Chain A
Amino acid sequence: MPKAQNSPKASQNLSARSEFWAGVREEMPLIFGVAPFGLVFGVLGLESGLTPWQTILMSSILFGGASQIVFAQLWAAGVPPLIVGGSVCVINTRHVLYSASIAAYLRHLPLRWRILLGYLLTDEAYAISIRRFQHDPPGPHQHFHLLGSGMLLWTSWQFSTIFGVLVGGTIPDSWSLSFAIPLTFIAIVAPILKTRADLAAAATAGTIAILGQPLPWNLWLITAAIGGILAGWLVNRLNHQAGATS
């Protein structure tokens, strides 16, 4: 990021406007990944039997890419609604982490600001704005940075979903556009597999996802997710214990 890391003093007391536009500017590169993803969701939503309105409004109501894809796929498979909702919730619990990590920088704000910024707190906006909060000197308007990154992401997500809904029917099946979903997730997961615990989580989740295919109601997804989390957590814990005793 071309942020003012060389001249930290320069970024103190930035105006609300320059904080906002810094957030927008730094979020920009991530939009190249988000926009195709939103488009694919728009296409997939219709293919799953959701109405155009259900597909478009889900992008505002859930505002979480992976969980929306899962919602559409499970709904299309005729999975009972409670399991659809439960799976979506499990996937989205990770936001508690972002919320906890960014709280120190936002907790002094009025409630309406915290509600707005909480709603905008996605993987991508968090990743960009936490860098500004942690590495640049604090400023009285620094929350505008998250407003900028969050609003660019929100706008791109809504427009790409709408675009997907509008053009969806005209894209031929032979383009295999739905393959963009696993590809998007590969782009996220492959670079973050670093420790043995990460690999254990991925291997366990992948194995259960295949072996669990015969389970009713697509329960393989939630089982694989929970199994992967447990495996990663256990290996992590064993590593720490081994490190502590050696």
Chain B
Amino acid sequence: MIWFIMIAAGLFTFATRFIMLSNGISNRPPPWLVDALGFVPIAVLTAIIVPAILIDPADQTIALWDNPRLFAAALAIIAALVTRQMITTIGVGIVALWVLQWAM
């Protein structure tokens, strides 16, 4: 079953990449669809980021002030905005988490 889902999703993903390169479709997608698809990365990635930071993996509850991941993520956001470099953002965030876990 997992192979079936993986291959089906893989074929769909290839289709999304190939579709406008095929000669069957000569028009660009309609403007409303272009607008909507432009928000996919922000919406999907934020939906993954927020629970990964706020939900405590130990007991699945929302953790705020006693949550080292929240403060490490805040520092990583600043690093991302200032440097715009992925490696620096990951480095700042993970080192901040280590320090905070040790300190808190």
Contact = CB atoms under 8 A, between A and B. Distances in A.
Interface string A167-198: 00000000111011111111111111100011
A128 interface: no
B21 A185 contact: no
A185 B49 contact: yes
Interface string B35-66: 11111111111111111111100001010000
Interface string A60-84: 0111101101110001000001101
Contacts of B9: 61-62, 67, 71, 84-85, 88-89, 92
B48 A182 contact: yes
A13 interface: no
Given A96-B29, A202-B43, A206-B46, A233 B97 contact: no
Contact of B51 (A71, A183, A213): A213
B39 A67 contact: no
Interface in B1-25: 1-10, 12-14, 16-23
A232 B55 CA distance: 25
Contact of A114 (B18, B44, B48, B90): B18
Interface centre among B1, B33, B41 (most CB of A within 10 A): B41
B21 A81 contact: no
Q: Is the interface of A mostly helix, strand, loop or mixed?
A: helix
A176 B16 CA distance: 34
A94 B86 contact: no
B45 A118 contact: no
B103 interface: no
Contacts of B8: 85
Q: Is the interface of B mostly helix, strand, loop or mixed?
A: helix
Contacts of A30: 86
Contacts of B93: 179-180, 183, 186
A92 B16 contact: yes
B13 A89 contact: yes
A137 interface: no
A220 B50 CA distance: 12
B39 A63 contact: no
A95 B99 CA distance: 38
Nearest to A226: B43
A168 to B, nearest CB: 17
Contacts of B20: 96, 99-100, 102-103
A190 B16 contact: no
A119 B23 CA distance: 16
16 contacts: A62-B13, A67-B9, A71-B9, A88-B9, A90-B44, A117-B21, A118-B18, A180-B94, A187-B85, A187-B89, A189-B45, A220-B47, A224-B46, A225-B47, A229-B36, A229-B43
Given A71-B6, A213-B60, 19 more contacts: A57-B6, A67-B13, A85-B9, A88-B13, A94-B16, A97-B34, A102-B21, A106-B21, A118-B14, A180-B93, A181-B52, A182-B49, A187-B85, A189-B45, A205-B44, A209-B48, A224-B43, A228-B44, A228-B46
The 8 A-B pairs at the shortest CB distance, nearest first, are namely A228-B43, A33-B86, A118-B18, A232-B39, A224-B47, A187-B89, A99-B20, A61-B10
